[in-house]
Structure 1
Amino acid sequence: MSSYSPYHIFDRNNWKTLRNHTPLRLTESELEELKGVNENISIKEVEDVYLPLTRLINLQVQASQQLHKATFSFLDQPPKKVPYIIGIAGSVAVGKSTIARLLQTLLSRWANHPHVELITTDGFLYNNAILEEKGLMNRKGFPESYDTEKMIDFISDIKAGKMKTEAPIYSHLEYDILPEEKQVISNPDILIVEGINVLQVNKNDTIFMSDFFDFSLYIDANEKDIEQWYIERFCTLQQTAFKNPASYFHRYTSLSKESAIKRAMQFWSEINAINLHENILPTRGRANVILQKGADHSVEHVYLRKL
């Protein structure tokens, strides 16, 4: 049986040497602002893992920019900025949002791509009224709960260099799309697209969101660790954000700690674990880079797809 792997595999000590003197342009206070609920990430983690990663991305952005210039020259057309698009995938509660915000901040401090924007695919969920009508409220986050056509239209406009593109905004407080609000993306150098579904494919479609990506990440961890992080996050939110009367989950604030843990475990086993196995985990092998986390949230191994 062949032992071939499509990835170069690095442990943390080997990966951190690839930083190659990339400067740290991030303070402790800035890092604190980027962290999500119950997520532990240190400046040392940034230096060891994310500075080498941003160096790799920077080199690939430069190469992409040169390739586009050469193509426009061949076509005898004036050069046009084509945004470099990065997709970040992985399970609920695995830390995608923190990593997306961190990469946005780090990448924006490179001279050749200072304009870095970030969106999440949550904004392309159908609104709750439609999900209720379709009987999909308990399937939120599954492929059928997204307006895939709207996502493809959005990402194709970005890749075409449209000067201003609007994306819907999702409120985790209200657990719904905000109909009167839009996020305006203004022809960035780099666009980061974060979401559990960004690497998914559907055999009934001919175009996928990932077709527009120049680079993709999958954030990976042991399922038991992710489940524990999900439960811890739920319990923290129950004592903080859920206490806001406007929160969709306000009803859970009266639960005892034991009951809150049981409810979180139920949500995990009946919804999130199923989505992970059926739709998210199968996309892991499509990523350019896999960041494999340990139980303390720190990245232990990096898998870099071979050319």
Structure 2
Amino acid sequence: MTPEALASLIRARAEDQPGRFLTALAGPPGSGKSTMAATVVQALGPGARAVPMDGFHLDDRVLEARGLRSRKGSPETFDAAGFLALVHRLRDEEGEVAIPIFDRAMELSRAAADIVLQEDRFLVIEGNYLLLNRSPWADLRGLFDLTVMIDVPEAELDRRLLARWAHHGKTPAEARAWIDGNDLPNIRCVQRESGRADISLRWDA
């Protein structure tokens, strides 16, 4: 399914539903969630907005205090309860909602860095753990109108992640160590512990 086809499906599903239509776009690290979300939002046009889960990363200082810095990106390194509260607001409130955005260049989240406007009806919420079958992540499922899982073979994810970390300045050895010690466990967590999505698709981003 192309992003344009997914956008058409979202519009069709939302046609008879009042209020905001929330689509969950889940997938493991390196699956192209952010790119897919941006492309779907562009295809949907005015009134659509992407909402990334990454804004709820715990700060590195908190992770270091908890001994979790080397596992950054795993489920326990996010403010899952805060993210759940945000999705409830997006589901229940009609007005503007401020959302945090993760700044990858600075490696930290910026509070209220974007605004979901009152007229934003189609929200594409993207993140690794949107369909995870563990508390409190499992409480998200009932808030989504449509769930999508991006399916990419592990070997391709590995290739993409090596390129990503090289781009961010890691040496090949550093990238390999980070992927093996952190990204791969997170990939397998998403693959093995996520519930079934309404749609499973391949995205060659």
- Common fold: TM-score over 0.5: yes
Per the TM alignment, residue 206 of structure 1 is displaced from its structure 2 partner at its CA by 8.8
* 1:264 lines up with 2:196 in the alignment: no
2:164 pairs with one of 211, 233, 238: 233
Per the TM alignment, residue 161 of structure 1 is displaced from its structure 2 partner at its CA by 2.5
Per the TM alignment, residue 221 of structure 1 is displaced from its structure 2 partner at its CA by 1.2
Per-residue CA distance 1:127-152 (angstroms, 9 max, x = gap): 12211211111121111111122111
Residue 130 (structure 1) aligns with: 62
1:182 pairs with one of 97, 110, 113: 113
* 1:274 lines up with 2:185 in the alignment: yes
User: 1: CA distance between counterparts of 2:114 and 2:140?
Assistant: 18
1:276 to 1:206, Cα distance in 2 relative to 1, 3 A: closer
Q: Does structure 2 retain, via aligned residues, the 8 Å contact 1:131–1:145?
A: yes
TM-score w.r.t. length of structure 1: 0.62
Secondary structure of the equivalent of 1:174?
coil
User: 2: CA distance between counterparts of 1:210 and 1:148?
Assistant: 13
Alignment of 1:144-293 (within 5 A): 144-178=76-110, 181-187=112-118, 188-203=120-135, 205=136, 208-238=139-169, 252=170, 260-277=171-188, 279-283=189-193, 285-293=195-203
Per-residue CA distance 1:254-301 (angstroms, 9 max, x = gap): xxxxxx222211111110111111x211255521111125xxx27xxx
Aligned residues: 204
Q: Does structure 2 retain, via aligned residues, the 8 Å contact 1:86–1:216?
A: yes
Alignment of 1:59-138 (within 5 A): 59-63=12-16, 65=17, 68=18, 82-108=19-45, 114-138=46-70
User: 1: CA distance between counterparts of 2:115 and 2:133?
Assistant: 26
User: 2: CA distance between counterparts of 1:170 and 1:216?
Assistant: 23
User: 1: CA distance between counterparts of 2:180 and 2:93?
Assistant: 42
User: 2: CA distance between counterparts of 1:206 and 1:137?
Assistant: 21
Per the TM alignment, residue 219 of structure 1 is displaced from its structure 2 partner at its CA by 1.1
User: 2: CA distance between counterparts of 1:218 and 1:117?
Assistant: 18
Secondary structure of the equivalent of 1:208?
helix
Q: Does structure 2 retain, via aligned residues, the 8 Å contact 1:284–1:290?
A: no
**Structure 2 residues not aligned, in runs of 5+:** none
Per the TM alignment, residue 201 of structure 1 is displaced from its structure 2 partner at its CA by 3.0
Secondary structure of the equivalent of 2:134?
coil
1:281 to 1:159, Cα distance in 2 relative to 1, 3 A: same
The Cα RMSD (Å) is 2.0
Per-residue CA distance 1:201-222 (angstroms, 9 max, x = gap): 324x496222211111111111
User: 1: CA distance between counterparts of 2:33 and 2:138?
Assistant: 24
Secondary structure of the equivalent of 1:191?
strand
User: 2: CA distance between counterparts of 1:235 and 1:268?
Assistant: 12
Structure of greater relative contact order (alpha carbons < 8 Å, 6+ residues apart): 2
Per-residue CA distance 1:4-23 (angstroms, 9 max, x = gap): xxxxxxxxxxx6xxxxxxxx
* Structure 1 residue identity aligned to 2:27: G
User: 2: CA distance between counterparts of 1:207 and 1:91?
Assistant: 16
User: 1: CA distance between counterparts of 2:10 and 2:65?
Assistant: 42
